[in-house]
Copies of this chain bind each other. A is one copy, B any other.
Amino acid sequence: MTQAGLELGEHALISRIRARLPTLPPWVLIGPGDDAAVLEPARNALDVLSVDSLVEGVHFDRALAPFSAVGFRALAVNLSDLAAMGAEPRAALLALALPPGTRVDELDAFLDGWLELALRHRVALVGGNLTSTRGPMIATVTVTGSVGSRQVLRRAGARPGDEVYLSGDIGAAAVGLESLRTAGPAAPDDGLAECQARYLRPEPRVRLGLALARNRAASACMDLSDGLADAVHQVADASGVGLKIEAGQLPVHQAARAWFESRGADPVGASLASDDYELLFTCRPRHRGRLRTAIQRAGSVRITRVGVVTAERAVVLRHDGHEEPFPTGFAHFR
Contacts and interface: CB of A to CB of B under 8 A. Distances in A.
A155 interface: yes
Contacts of A47: 38-41, 47, 144
Interface stretch (A125-133, A170-178, A246-254): A125-133
Contacts of A130: 332-333
Interface of A: 6-11, 13, 29-30, 33-41, 45-53, 55, 57-59, 80-82, 84-85, 87, 91, 93-95, 97-99, 126-136, 138, 140, 142-145, 147, 152, 154-156, 221-223, 225, 238, 331-334
Contacts of A58: 131-134
A316 B234 CA distance: 59
Contacts of A13: 333
Nearest to A223: B35
A48 B93 CA distance: 12
A10 B134 contact: no
Copies in the complex: 2
A134 B135 CA distance: 7
The 7 closest A-B pairs by CB, nearest first: A135-B135, A36-B50, A6-B333, A35-B84, A41-B41, A10-B332, A140-B140
A325 to B, nearest CB: 17
20 contacts: A7-B333, A9-B334, A29-B152, A34-B238, A35-B50, A35-B221, A35-B225, A36-B50, A36-B82, A36-B87, A36-B145, A41-B46, A51-B93, A52-B129, A55-B132, A95-B140, A133-B135, A133-B136, A134-B136, A140-B140
Given A10-B333, A29-B46, A131-B59, A51 B140 contact: yes
Contact of A81 (B29, B36, B97, B138): B36
Given A58-B134, A133-B55, A238-B34, A46 B40 contact: yes
Nearest to A230: B11
A134 B57 contact: yes
Given A36-B81, A81-B35, A331-B9, A51 B133 contact: no
Contacts of A128: 51
A59 B30 CA distance: 27
Contacts of A40: 46-47
Nearest to A96: B53
Given A53-B140, A130-B332, 10 more contacts: A10-B333, A29-B46, A29-B152, A35-B225, A36-B145, A41-B46, A51-B140, A55-B133, A58-B132, A133-B136
